[in-house]
């Protein structure tokens, strides 16, 4: 089965809000609306989602390997539309077949991270083409958190010939050589992997491989079913900052539908916390906050996370901004 291509190409500095656009025009339907097979999260899962540091696009840290731009698109099986505002976790081994957080790598966190999908159900990671280890082909694990009650866990692989070519072309980066197995010889994929096959192509202009993968999970696209961003929209609305992009400072509007304790944190694309302020308890209504003067100089993209805590729970909204 040929996997449908993305409706648009994601840019590394995409300036899109992660809150659902309730009045936005519905995106075109997907060409693939079959539930992705469920796979084990192990043997090397590591839940890092409680730490906002791992809300990051670049998950390489210090790992060597040829650069991979991995694009992911999530579809809701209920109506075959893109799912906006769901959290996508990914993790994979390094070029030598090691997973961070396990065995000799305890305490390390490379090749792990999560993103939120935009209004087209898409997100993007920067990583390396993974290596392999005995019994498994080159693959990547992922988990899609649709709601607090449901998440989908699976894996994807890439065309075997494409992976072999990538490793052989960059042999100096892969001392273990190419993967000796094919997906048909892997226990996770030997029952069929049409719905778990990502593309893999070399982008000579940018010196990186580009991969696209689409997964269909339970739920409704566009407005979702029960995911946390839907609940957040009932508590607060995080507006677009102005100016954007900005040079010295920028202002971001926040509308609270009810009183809440508000904390604002700014992360760079590596997940590093670069600015934070606790505004304490705020009344319902319109608010603004200014920042930027304390951020590093020069062109950069940031994620602004607003946490509003009320008597009914903790709510999170995120927006991307850019500094020139």
For Cα atoms 315, 52, 150, give the angle at the middle one, nearest 5 degrees.
60
**Shortest CA distance to 167 belongs to which of 66, 73, 71?**
66
In the chain, the DSSP E strands lie at: 67-76, 81-82, 87-91, 112-116, 122-128, 139-145, 151-157, 201-203, 208-217, 236-238, 250-256, 260-268, 273-282, 285-291, 300-310, 313-323
- Residue 22, pLDDT score: 29
Residues 149-203: pLDDT tens digits? 678 899 999 999 999 999 999 999 999 999 999 999 999 999 899 999 999 999 9
Class level of CATH domain 52-217: mainly beta
Residues 280-306: pLDDT tens digits? 999 999 999 998 888 888 888 888 888
- Residue 45, pLDDT score: 66
On average, the pLDDT of the chain sits at 82
**Shortest CA distance to 312 belongs to which of 264, 261, 237?**
261
- Burial code of 283-312, b = ≥16 C-beta within 10 A, e = fewer? eeeeeebebbeebeeeebbbbbbbbbebee
What fold is seen in the domain 234-323? Immunoglobulin-like (2.60.40)
For Cα atoms 73, 78, 82, give the angle at the middle one, nearest 5 degrees.
25
d(CA 31, CA 266): 36
Can you list the residues of the chain whose pLDDT is less than 70? Answer: 1-32, 41-53, 148-149, 220-230, 269-271
| Domain parsing of the chain, residue ranges | 52-217, 234-323
């Amino acid at each position: 089965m040929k996997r449908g291509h993305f409706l648009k190409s994601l840019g590394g500095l995409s300036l899109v809000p992660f809150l659902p656009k309730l009045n936005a025009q519905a995106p075109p339907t997907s060409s693939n609306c079959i539930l992705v097979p469920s796979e084990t999260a192990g043997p090397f899962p590591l839940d890092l989602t409680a730490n906002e540091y791992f809300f990051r696009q670049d998950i390489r840290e210090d790992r060597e390997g040829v650069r991979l731009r991995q694009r992911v698109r999530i579809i809701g099986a209920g109506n075959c539309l893109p799912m906006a505002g769901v959290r996508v976790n990914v993790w994979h081994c390094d070029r030598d077949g090691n997973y961070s957080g396990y065995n000799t790598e305890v305490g390390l966190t490379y090749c792990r991270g999560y993103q939120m999908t935009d209004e087209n159900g898409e997100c993007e990671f920067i990583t390396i083409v993974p290596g392999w280890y005995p019994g498994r082909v080159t693959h990547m694990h992922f988990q899609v958190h649709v709601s607090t009650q449901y998440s989908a866990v699976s894996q994807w692989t890439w065309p075997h010939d494409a992976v072999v070519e990538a490793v052989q072309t960059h042999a100096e980066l892969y001392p273990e050589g190419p993967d000796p197995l094919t997906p048909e010889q892997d226990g996770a994929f030997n029952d069929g992997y049409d719905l778990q096959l990502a593309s893999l192509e070399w982008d000579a202009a940018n010196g990186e491989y580009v991969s696209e993968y689409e997964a269909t999970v339970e739920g409704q696209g566009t407005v979702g079913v029960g995911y946390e961003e839907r609940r957040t929209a009932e508590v607060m609305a995080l507006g677009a900052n102005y100016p954007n992009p900005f040079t010295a400072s920028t202002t971001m509007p926040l509308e609270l539908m009810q009183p809440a304790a508000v904390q604002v944190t700014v992360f760079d694309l590596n997940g590093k916390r670069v600015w934070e302020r606790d505004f304490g308890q705020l009344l319902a209504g319109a608010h603004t906050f200014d920042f930027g003067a304390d951020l590093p100089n020069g062109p950069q993209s940031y994620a602004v996370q607003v946490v509003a805590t009320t008597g009914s729970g903790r709510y999170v909204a995120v927006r991307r901004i850019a500094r020139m």
